[in-house]
Chains A and B, each alone.
Chain A
Amino acid sequence: MKRGIAGLAVGLLIVAIAVTGLGAPIRIGICKIVEHPALDANERGIIDALTAAGYVEGKDVEYILASAQGDPNNSIPIAQNFLAKGVTLVVAISTPMALAAVEVFEGTGVPVVFSAVTDPVAAGLVLDDDDSSQNGNVTGVSDLIDVAGDLALLKELSASVRRVGIVYNPGEANSARLTTIAEAAGPGLGLSVVKAVADTSANVPAAAQSLVGRVDAFYVTTDNTVVSAIDAVIAAAEEGSVPFLMADPTSLRFGPVLATGFDYYKHGLLAGDIVLQILAGKKPNQIPVVYQTGAEIHLNLDAAARIGLEFPASLIDRATGIFFGGASWLRSGD
């Protein structure tokens, strides 16, 4: 009951600000599950999107930043604290953070915008990603990567690739989901998926080693556990002289042969755009979930040389960036 009244009051406040464009700075709570290069870039992107649209920090908008520091048990207190501080909008980065925000802000009328969530429907955040009318006060951006596209790239790289090895942590919601997608997509491309499980970063070397000789290529999705120990997968791929595709462009310089995926700063800009639409008066249930598109392809020529691999011209033409001679080169005009 009290929550309902508070929600109504907050709702009226939003309307008042939207109508008059005046008043105290609006408060936006931004929370993430852990400090991580991709998630930090995501956070910066959100703030930069608002700044670019004229929301000056300290004058028009006040940000309350929070991190659960890797412990899902901190997500609920963080959301409750946002509620107590009377935020007008919440941006929740990652699945557990978004679930906590939706649970705490249910019935308050405060919009929740999620970001860096792979599958918002399977996670139970929204009912339908396309028809947003029943999604209540929740919308956001998904970072679902094009797994089938990645597997097709490996096939394009070398037609002899038949078995693809995936090292993953089944405890990570995003990674588990992507691995399932890969298993389903593989047969259609003439590929079989061989999985190796690493539940902690310390177990990545053993998992990667177990695949050497049994696979024709390595593939790692957006798996935080495996990315933390990426050197071990690179070593295993080089030992087996097979290509390694990684769905994280920021890790290209460490030595995978090719990397695809999204720029998380741009991901943040997309989330920021949704925030701007809501601040302009749109309701979250009028904004369908946004799926980031335009995955980039990055090639590591040094790593390819180490396993005696040459990239087909079709791939080089589409690459956004290359790593060559120990340095990164981006396509001009990008």
Chain B
Amino acid sequence: MGSILIHAAEQGFAYGIAALGVFITFRILRFPDLTVDGSFVTGAAIASSLLTSMGVDPFLALAVAFGAGCVAGAVTGLLHTRLGITDLLAGVLSMIMLYSINLRIMGKPNISLLRVTTLSDVVEKALSPLGAVALLVVLAGLTFLIKLVLDAFFRTEFGLALRATGDNEAMIVSQGVNTKSMKVFGLALSNGLVAMSGALVAQYSGFADVGMGVGTIVTGLAAVIVGGSLIRSRRIGWMTASVLVGSLIYRVAVMFALRYGYLIGFQASDLKLVTSLIVIVALVIPTVRERLMRKVGSC
């Protein structure tokens, strides 16, 4: 029981970085960006290629993946702002282009990282006294660090202008802010984080697969929405925290579906159904509790 919760938490943080990226486009910029299904793989592809062919440091691989994701996001931004392509289509086009690009980067559809030194190997060796939680500590630390940097960034003047671009574009244009550049920057930052998450997940999983990005947008949105409905706040620190909580809940749901689904008669092919049902329960609990509290209060 304990060990699978640790693993679910590890995944919650690793995928949580991608959820933070999705949060930036959907909640801050209000831009429905589908590039992420491609840029998640781009990060995994770059990191695994660097690790297998050049033996690059696993942490450096994360940084390079971030950079590549930024480029992918910027392309979507430029397609939208400079060429006037609608937001959804710009993202879809980038996503499709990235499929071919990712295959070029990898050279084959699936790269094994079993025999190279990955981040997991480095961490487990360096922090061996921590035992089973070593990797969790590092993943949580890294994700929190990114969260804190984002929080600080969104409190700067530039960060506030970025938030205003999504909230009230007309107002911020009248303040003399170039919202086109803001959107390009926001998309770059978002996809950089998503790619970094992909690089992290590949190293954690021991392989990169060209199909691993499908559904990044769905799970990312699930984390943003689940977290947002559990923690309702307009303060940026709480908002980013809620995204990570949402990501953790989603990964715990997958693990619970796998581990306990059979107890209620579910079979292997019901995995996705059970996962979603658990997320629904997590969403409903606070509402039900609120209603009960109100009832008790009115008595």
Question: A residues touching B (Cβ–Cβ < 8 Å)?
Answer: 1-3, 35, 65-78, 80-81, 83-85, 95-96, 99-100, 102-103, 106, 122-125, 170-173, 176-177, 199
Contacts and interface: CB of A to CB of B under 8 A. Distances in A.
Given A73-B215, A80-B4, A102 B114 contact: yes
Chain B interface size band reads 35 or more
B212 interface: yes
Most B CB within 10 A of own CB, among A66, A80, A83: A80
Contacts of B299: none
A81 B214 CA distance: 23
A81 B108 contact: no
Contact of B114 (A65, A70, A74, A124): A124
B115 interface: yes
A76 B204 contact: yes
Contacts of A125: 112, 114
A71 B209 CA distance: 10
A174 to B, nearest CB: 9
Contacts of A102: 114, 206
Nearest to A84: B4
Interface of B: 1, 3-4, 7-8, 11, 15, 99, 103, 108-115, 128, 131-132, 201, 204-207, 209-212, 214-215, 219, 251, 254-255, 258-259, 267-269, 271-272
B11 A76 contact: yes
Q: Which 6 A-B pairs have the closest CB atoms?
A: A124-B112, A103-B206, A173-B110, A99-B207, A72-B209, A81-B258
A96 B211 CA distance: 10
Given A35-B269, A100-B206, A77 B7 contact: yes
A83 B11 CA distance: 16
15 contacts: A3-B132, A66-B258, A67-B268, A71-B215, A74-B271, A76-B7, A96-B211, A100-B205, A100-B207, A103-B207, A123-B112, A125-B112, A171-B109, A173-B108, A199-B99
B259 A84 contact: yes
Main secondary structure of the interface of B (DSSP, over half): helix
Given A1-B131, A35-B269, A170-B103, A77 B210 contact: no
A123 B115 CA distance: 11
Contacts of A176: 108-109
Contacts of A78: 258
B194 to A, nearest CB: 13
A207 to B, nearest CB: 14
B112 A77 contact: no
A102 B206 CA distance: 9
A316 B272 CA distance: 46
B132 A75 contact: no
Contacts of A123: 110, 112
Contacts of B267: 65
B268 A66 contact: yes
Nearest to B259: A81
Contacts of B269: 35, 67, 69
A172 B204 CA distance: 21
B165 to A, nearest CB: 32
A75 B103 contact: no
A260 to B, nearest CB: 23
Nearest to B201: A73
Nearest to A172: B109
A67 B204 CA distance: 20
Contacts of A106: 114
Contacts of A80: 3-4, 7, 255
Contacts of B212: 71-73
A84 B8 CA distance: 12
Contacts of A71: 211-212, 214-215
B11 A77 contact: yes
A75 B205 contact: yes
B202 to A, nearest CB: 10
A99 B208 CA distance: 10
B109 A99 contact: no
